[in-house]
């Protein structure tokens, strides 16, 4: 624990974080932590987000609805972009044609070939099928 006036170095923080992985907190510790962040001790105490800020955040995060917001979050977590090239439709899956761009295609087409962005050969095969589907080829 850091004391007032004592700063942990980044290296020390990393070591502590690594040590704590997989550790379970006792109920007593959870309660103590909870009390430490209540009321005036909480960083957000007395601060209120403006309606304009809430509206902007809501629009930015939920453009396209909850399902699309979740997909965008998951893509960001995997360090992929989520720039959609077409609109989602019933029964569609989002397919990354590269690390940034997503095309919504029918689920059966998406699952027809195993593919991974890390494997260029499989991506070439699935992307050929996707482009044919988009352009209306047979």
Q: Which residues contact 132 (CB under 8 A, 6 or more apart)?
A: 138
In a domain, 64, yes or no: yes
Residue 125: per-residue pLDDT: 95
Tokens of 112: 């027809």
Give the pLDDT band of residue 2 (cuts 50, 70, 90): very low
Classify residue 26: in a domain, yes or no.
Answer: no
Domain of residue 128, residue span: 53-135
Backbone angles phi, psi at 64, to 5 degrees: 100, -5
Per-residue pLDDT reduced to its tens digit, 41-92: 877 787 888 888 877 777 666 666 777 778 777 777 777 888 899 999 999 9
Asked whether the beta carbons of 126 and 113 are under 8 A apart, the reply is: yes
Do the beta carbons of residue 75 and residue 66 sit within 8 Å? no
Give residue 4's pLDDT band: very low, low, confident or very high (50, 70, 90).
Answer: low
* Residue 31 belongs to a domain: no
Contacts (Cβ under 8 Å, ≥6 apart) of 89: 104
CA distances from 41 to 8, 26, 100 (A): 20, 22, 41
Q: Does residue 40 lie within any of the structural domains?
A: no
Is position 103 within any domain? Answer: yes
Question: Is residue 116 a part of any domain in this protein?
Answer: yes
Residue 34 has pLDDT above 50, yes or no: yes
Q: 13 lies in a domain?
A: no
Counted domains in the chain: 1
Would you say residue 110 has pLDDT above 90?
yes
| Cross-strand partners of 83 | 101
Q: Is 72 exposed, middle or buried (0-12, 13-18, 19+ CB in 10 A)?
A: buried
The answer to whether position 69 is within a domain reads yes
Cβ-based burial of 109 (10 A; exposed 0-12, middle 13-18, buried ≥19): middle
């Amino acid at each position: 624990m850091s004391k007032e006036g004592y700063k942990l170095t980044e290296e020390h923080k990393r070591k502590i974080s690594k040590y704590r992985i997989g550790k379970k907190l006792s109920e007593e510790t959870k309660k103590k932590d909870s009390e430490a962040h209540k009321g005036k001790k909480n960083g957000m105490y007395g601060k209120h987000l403006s309606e304009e800020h809430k509206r902007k955040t809501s629009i930015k995060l939920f453009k396209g609805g909850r399902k699309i917001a979740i997909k965008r979050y998951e893509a960001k977590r995997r360090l992929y972009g989520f720039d959609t090239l077409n609109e989602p439709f019933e029964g569609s899956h989002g397919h990354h044609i590269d690390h940034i761009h997503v095309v919504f295609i029918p689920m059966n087409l998406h699952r027809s070939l195993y593919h991974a962005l890390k494997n260029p050969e499989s991506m070439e095969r699935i992307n050929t099928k996707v482009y044919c589907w988009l352009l209306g080829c047979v």
